[in-house]
Amino acid sequence: MTSVIVAGLMWLLVAALLVLRRGRVERSITWASVAIAISMTLNIDPVYVALDTAAGGSNAVTLVADLALMTGVFLLGRGVMKAADDPPRAVRIALSRVTFGVALVSATIAFLLIERGATTTSFMLDLGEQPATAIYSMIHFTYYAVVLAAMATVAFAQIRVSRGILALPPALLVVGCGLGIALTVDVICMDLSHVAGNLDLMSAAAVLYGPLYLLTFLLLCSGFAGQPFVRAVRARQRELTTRELAARLAPLWQTASEVHPGISQNSEAEFDADDPEGLLHRQVVEIRDAMIDTRVTFSVSGADLEALEAAERHLVGATATPSASLRVRQ
């Protein structure tokens, strides 16, 4: 049941990313989500049994699903790293292609050393007493922990520079990564106790596996889906504010244009009045031009001045630095 829930969460994440990140060139996180969703789907018992039976009944689908998950985690980490301005060297090493390649090859070799028998939907329970099986599992989860630790480092740095609701997605990622690392510790404990024959310890550790597994994916999915969603909400809020400010400045802009015709009256000038940011920018510049031109008599005070200053603050907030000045292409 857990596999079905996690697979469903991952496919929902894929759908959300396809909608919220459409038009973006960078697709690492979307492809990562697809790879992980495929892995989770392959782990659903009826799907697994059908495919593995078709493949010869040697549990080869386990390797396919696990390598797909490893690939997805790798792409996920790379996508997060690309969002960082200057990630630490340890992060770059953890998320490098070399580290991924070593983990991939090591896991494949360990899998080939396992005496796998017939198709089983309880791979680790049925075959976990073999040292090769334990090593195979520990390679995977150790790699996951390394990537998650690197992702948490990047996400924590994002929290420090984010404000308000923008800090929520990276915070969810940090918690999700922490739970994923805890899951790795739990799995390694299960693997070692199984090989050692300490089934009581393995059973005790197994109690935590399900909740940690589900919560890890839930929080990671929420964090990744939350980032484009929050950006979309903020962009929509900004657009509404821009249009509202432009409407408030429209009468003042009209008056300024009458006493001091600006570039907006030039039919050959490039100007898209349907672009709210461009319109507000033009309004502010032309009103200020009229105010500082000593050849005309034009002053602004009271509510009009407050609206003008609010528009300037709004526009400056979208620039790279707080001291950036308003410019218009003449």
Joined together, the tokens standing for residue 72 give 């997805």
Does 181 lie in the same domain as 62?
A: yes
Averaged pLDDT, 8-36: 78
User: What is the dihedral angle through the alpha carbons of 79, 85, 91, 97, rounded to the nearest 10 degrees?
Assistant: 50
- 197 by Cβ neighbours in 10 Å (0-12 / 13-18 / 19+) ranks as exposed
Whether 262 is covered by a domain: the verdict is yes
Q: Which residues contact 197 (CB under 8 A, 6 or more apart)?
A: 129
| Final residue of a structural domain among 205, 225, 245 | 225
Does 162 lie in the same domain as 273?
A: no
Number of domains in the chain: 2
Does 245 lie in the same domain as 149?
A: no
Whether 231 is covered by a domain: the verdict is no
Whether 75 is covered by a domain: the verdict is yes
Whether 172 is covered by a domain: the verdict is yes
Q: What is the DSSP code string of 175-236?
A: HHHHHHHHHHHHHHHHHHHHHHT-HHHHHHHHHHHHHHHHHHHHHHHHHHHHHHHHHHHHHH
Whether 322 is covered by a domain: the verdict is no
Confidence of residue 90 (pLDDT cuts 50, 70, 90): very high
| Final residue of a structural domain among 225, 251, 281 | 225
Cα gap 272→286, rounded to integer Å: 15
| Final residue of a structural domain among 179, 196, 225 | 225
**Stronger pLDDT, 56 or 24, i.e. the higher one:** 56
Does 243 lie in the same domain as 212?
A: no
Closest CA to 318 of 276, 288, 256: 276
Express each pLDDT in 107-117 by its tens digit: 999 999 999 98
Torsion over CA: 11, 12, 15, 20 (sign): negative
**Confidence (pTM):** 0.72
What one-letter code names the amino acid at 171? A
On whether the CB atoms of residues 307 and 252 are closer than 8 A, the answer is yes
Does 220 lie in the same domain as 157?
A: yes
Asked if pLDDT for residue 318 goes beyond 60, the answer is no
Cα gap 172→255, rounded to integer Å: 50
Express each pLDDT in 66-76 by its tens digit: 999 999 999 98
Does 245 lie in the same domain as 221?
A: no
Helices (H), the chain: 2-20, 28-42, 45-54, 60-82, 89-94, 97-112, 123-127, 131-161, 168-196, 199-259, 276-292, 302-316
What one-letter code names the amino acid at 282? R
Does 269 lie in the same domain as 150?
A: no
Asked if pLDDT for residue 328 goes beyond 80, the answer is no
Averaged pLDDT, 156-174: 86
Does 262 lie in the same domain as 212?
A: no
Asked if pLDDT for residue 327 goes beyond 70, the answer is no
Other beta carbons within 10 Å of 139: 22
Q: Which residues contact 92 (CB under 8 A, 6 or more apart)?
A: 81
Query: What percent of the chain is predicted at pLDDT more than 90?
Result: 45
Does 30 lie in the same domain as 123?
A: yes
Cα gap 269→263, rounded to integer Å: 7
Whether 328 is covered by a domain: the verdict is no
Asked if pLDDT for residue 118 goes beyond 80, the answer is yes
Q: 141 vs 66, 69, 100, 116, CA distance in Å? A: 10, 11, 13, 20
CATH number of the domain that residue 18 is part of = 1.20.1070
pLDDT for position 329: 32
pLDDT for position 20: 65
Does 118 lie in the same domain as 248?
A: no
Joined together, the tokens standing for residue 232 give 């979309």
Averaged pLDDT, 289-315: 86
Whether 79 is covered by a domain: the verdict is yes
Whether 330 is covered by a domain: the verdict is no
What range does the domain containing 180 cover?
2-225
Does 208 lie in the same domain as 166?
A: yes
Does 154 lie in the same domain as 248?
A: no
Confidence of residue 137 (pLDDT cuts 50, 70, 90): very high
